[in-house]
Amino acid sequence: MAGLSALAILAILGPLVAIGLILLLRSPRWSPYLALVGAVAGLCGALLGLWAKAGDAIPGTLVLPGLPNLPLRLIISPTTSLLSTVVAMVSFLVMLYAVGYMQEEAALPRFFAEMSLFVAAMQLLVLAGDWLLIIVGWELIALASYLLIGFWYERPGVRQAATRAFLTTRAADFGLYIGVFALVSQTQTSEIAPTLEVSGTAATVAGLGFLLAAIGKSAQIPLQGWLQDAMAGPTPVSALLHSATLVAAGPILLLRVYPVLNGSVLIIIGIVGGVTALLTGLTALAQVDLKRMLAASTSSQLGFMLLALGAGSPGAALLHLVFHAAMKSSLFLGAGIFQHKYHSTNFSEIAAKGGGRAYPPVYLCFVIAGLALAGVPPLAGFWSKDAIIAATFASAQAWLFTPLVLLGTLLTGSYVGRALRLLWPKPESISREVNANKSAVSGWMLTGLVSLTGLATTSGLLVKPIGQLVGQEIPENGLALVLGLAVALVGLLVGWFELIGSFWQRLAQGNFRLDDWLKVLLVQPVLLLARVVSRADGWLHSGVLGVGRTGLNMARRVAGFDSRLHGAVVLTGRAGLDLARLSRQTDERGIDRLIAWMVRNIRLLGGRVRELPSGLVHQELLLTAAAVILLLGLILISR
């Protein structure tokens, strides 16, 4: 079986080879298909790895020759192969959709090469068995996401969004380095498995570092803002970014290092996740833009995953990660179709031009995926969310985590309900423009959307197999089931009838902006300091003026003495001048005349020679060349 599991490396190599071919051919016609073939190869590899590892407790390790004494390892365990399958599956379907979505773009080779790079880097990160490879993958997805968010770099604001995403995630990556250094310096090996046995202070430091990295990458409070700006990229990018790849890296990292995390770190993780789930849920509720709402919802759902981790149930977190990938990507693909049809993602503009029901299949998929996200049985989100609620019941901090998760579920229901309501206008208002625009939805896009929605619908059946596969207990609790469902339904109703006033609207719309906090915490103290310094400067200035004035007074006194000296000097000078006049007269009569005659003649000669050099470089060079050739000829004759 080891041989078969080694094929999982195809998951990385497939997209990589696709990049190579795309960049080699640079053909706008073929690059989408090349990327698709690469994604299929990756999917095959991931599935083979999964099949080979199903029911096999011992993880397969693939040692690649790296630097001397520093081999690079890939690990193919049930968990990693499951995650790799999810990544491959989602990326394949999104790629399928992108073929249709990007049809009219010019820079297709660039787009598909960047997409494939994104997928390959994510697979590397997922399958890495080595800290070195994790860092490489982590950095590469940051780079790829920067490139993809900035894909339409000529549009206003896009570059800033890309830069913001890159800088925020990169700043938080500092945590990853701290964590890795803490672990590696304790164990002297870069392989992941042995480093996870570290305990004590090093483990706490590493855990907090990893948490920081995950906060940045997964857009948790207080670094959540970049994710909404990242909507500036093409919609397939958002779909990929928000479901299985970029943002999922945070929970994946925390899942991998779960054994290192000790109790206090887990509580902090849970609190960060819970607060994020609440605040970004409120943000989502206040958004007026479909894609931005989905972005806020992504932060919120990732908060649930961290909450589950903090509650001590990695199984529930993994389950939600997998299901969320399918649900969120199908929501984004639906949003992308609306965007193509209406040329806008603003709720009111979509509604004015006919809304969701103008195109029933898409709206249906959107509704299914939305309900799944809200947690309505028997769709996928129901199972994972109930697992999370049950996990919080079982945790030691149930008093803290349970209200957080229930409120979060309520909010999820509300914003889903609100979005569905806003997309529901009457069919009479369908304008002609929309009908004419029907071609904007191609078969490629629908295939991707429907398949992903299908996944979101049916994957609820996979709860038990997944639990068995990764060997983690998926928590269950009858009370949690009922409570979760009740809260979700209430939320849906609240959202549908828009029972929320504008109380939160203004606060939440601004996304609890970090900028304001920065202003209070950093800018104002700096300004204060500047004012103090400037006042000190004033004192210094007047002091300097005082010194200057004393100097001037002294100078005046010295000047008086000086003028007396001056009179004496003038007397001596006059005598000297008389002497000089005498000697000049002798000079002019005799020596001067001779010199003048010589100068005149030399000038005449110079004037003649002056006509030879023209001042033009090439003509003078020609003279030089002639001289050189003359010299060579002399050598030739006299040899």
Q: Quick one: which of 431, 418, 286 has its CA closest to 352?
A: 431
User: Whose Cβ is closer to other proteins: residue 590's or residue 615's?
Assistant: 615
- 608 near other proteins, judged by CB under 8 A: no
- 605 near other proteins, judged by CB under 8 A: no
- 612 near other proteins, judged by CB under 8 A: no
The span from the CA of 445 to the CA of 98, in Å, is 7
Q: Quick one: which of 388, 211, 264, 380 has its CA closest to 314?
A: 388
Among 60, 610, 627, 638, the residue binding other proteins under the rule CB under 8 A is: 610
**Minimum gap (Å) between residue 107 Cβ and other proteins:** 23
**Minimum gap (Å) between residue 630 Cβ and other proteins:** 9
- Tokens representing 421 are 């309501």
- 639 near other proteins, judged by CB under 8 A: yes
The span from the CA of 350 to the CA of 86, in Å, is 32
User: Whose Cβ is closer to other proteins: residue 156's or residue 615's?
Assistant: 615
> Count of CB atoms within 10 A of residue 30's CB?
16
- Using CB under 8 A as the binding rule, the residues of this chain from 68 to 87 that contact other proteins are none
- 636 near other proteins, judged by CB under 8 A: yes
CA dihedral (63, 66, 68, 73) in degrees, to 10, reads -30
Among the listed ranges 122-130, 376-384, 565-573, 630-638, the one in contact with other proteins (CB under 8 A) is 630-638
- 627 near other proteins, judged by CB under 8 A: no
The span from the CA of 586 to the CA of 608, in Å, is 34
- Tokens representing 338 are 């609306």
- 622 near other proteins, judged by CB under 8 A: yes
Q: Quick one: which of 270, 321, 279, 314 has its CA closest to 300?
A: 279
- 613 near other proteins, judged by CB under 8 A: yes
- 435 near other proteins, judged by CB under 8 A: no
The span from the CA of 322 to the CA of 581, in Å, is 107
Quick check: 413 and 494 in contact, CB under 8 A?
yes
**Minimum gap (Å) between residue 622 Cβ and other proteins:** 6
Largest CA distance in the chain: 129
- 348 near other proteins, judged by CB under 8 A: no
615: left (phi over 0), alpha (psi -120 to 50) or beta: left
User: Whose Cβ is closer to other proteins: residue 559's or residue 616's?
Assistant: 616
Quick check: 191 and 130 in contact, CB under 8 A?
yes
Among the listed ranges 14-22, 507-515, 541-549, 610-618, the one in contact with other proteins (CB under 8 A) is 610-618
| Three-state DSSP string of 114-158 | HHHHHHHHHHHHHHECEHHHHHHHHHHHHHHHHHHHCCCCCCCCH
**Minimum gap (Å) between residue 159 Cβ and other proteins:** 24
The span from the CA of 243 to the CA of 388, in Å, is 18
Residue 215, CA distances (Å) to 187, 433, 594 in order: 26, 43, 93
**Minimum gap (Å) between residue 599 Cβ and other proteins:** 17
Among 520, 616, 627, 638, the residue binding other proteins under the rule CB under 8 A is: 616
The span from the CA of 609 to the CA of 184, in Å, is 80
DSSP 21-33: HHHHH--TTTHHH
How many residues contact other proteins, by CB under 8 A?
19
Among the listed ranges 287-295, 319-327, 386-394, 623-631, the one in contact with other proteins (CB under 8 A) is 623-631
74: left (phi over 0), alpha (psi -120 to 50) or beta: beta
Taken in order 285, 361, 441, 341, the sign of the CA dihedral is negative
Q: Quick one: which of 133, 126, 161 has its CA closest to 145?
A: 161
- Tokens representing 477 are 């609790």
- 604 near other proteins, judged by CB under 8 A: no
Among the listed ranges 117-125, 308-316, 526-534, 616-624, the one in contact with other proteins (CB under 8 A) is 616-624
**Minimum gap (Å) between residue 608 Cβ and other proteins:** 13
User: Whose Cβ is closer to other proteins: residue 529's or residue 629's?
Assistant: 629
Quick check: 491 and 410 in contact, CB under 8 A?
yes
- Using CB under 8 A as the binding rule, the residues of this chain from 250 to 309 that contact other proteins are none
**Minimum gap (Å) between residue 603 Cβ and other proteins:** 13
User: Whose Cβ is closer to other proteins: residue 428's or residue 611's?
Assistant: 611
**Minimum gap (Å) between residue 604 Cβ and other proteins:** 15
294: left (phi over 0), alpha (psi -120 to 50) or beta: alpha
User: Whose Cβ is closer to other proteins: residue 478's or residue 607's?
Assistant: 607
- Tokens representing 201 are 């202070």
User: Which residues touch 601 (CB under 8 Å, ≥6 apart)?
Assistant: none
User: Whose Cβ is closer to other proteins: residue 554's or residue 621's?
Assistant: 621
User: Whose Cβ is closer to other proteins: residue 520's or residue 617's?
Assistant: 617
Quick check: 240 and 118 in contact, CB under 8 A?
yes
**Minimum gap (Å) between residue 43 Cβ and other proteins:** 42
Among 1, 529, 595, 621, the residue binding other proteins under the rule CB under 8 A is: 621
- Tokens representing 474 are 């998926």
Among the listed ranges 109-117, 325-333, 349-357, 618-626, the one in contact with other proteins (CB under 8 A) is 618-626
The mark string for 556-595 relative to other proteins (x by CB under 8 A, - otherwise) is ----------------------------------------
- 615 near other proteins, judged by CB under 8 A: yes
Among the listed ranges 175-183, 282-290, 397-405, 613-621, the one in contact with other proteins (CB under 8 A) is 613-621
The span from the CA of 462 to the CA of 583, in Å, is 118
> Count of CB atoms within 10 A of residue 351's CB?
18
The span from the CA of 605 to the CA of 620, in Å, is 20
User: Whose Cβ is closer to other proteins: residue 264's or residue 614's?
Assistant: 614
**Minimum gap (Å) between residue 570 Cβ and other proteins:** 38
Among the listed ranges 155-163, 221-229, 486-494, 620-628, the one in contact with other proteins (CB under 8 A) is 620-628
- 628 near other proteins, judged by CB under 8 A: yes
**Minimum gap (Å) between residue 578 Cβ and other proteins:** 43
- 599 near other proteins, judged by CB under 8 A: no
**Minimum gap (Å) between residue 609 Cβ and other proteins:** 9
- 619 near other proteins, judged by CB under 8 A: yes
Q: Which residues bind other proteins (CB under 8 A)?
A: 610, 613-619, 621-622, 625-626, 628-629, 632-633, 635-636, 639
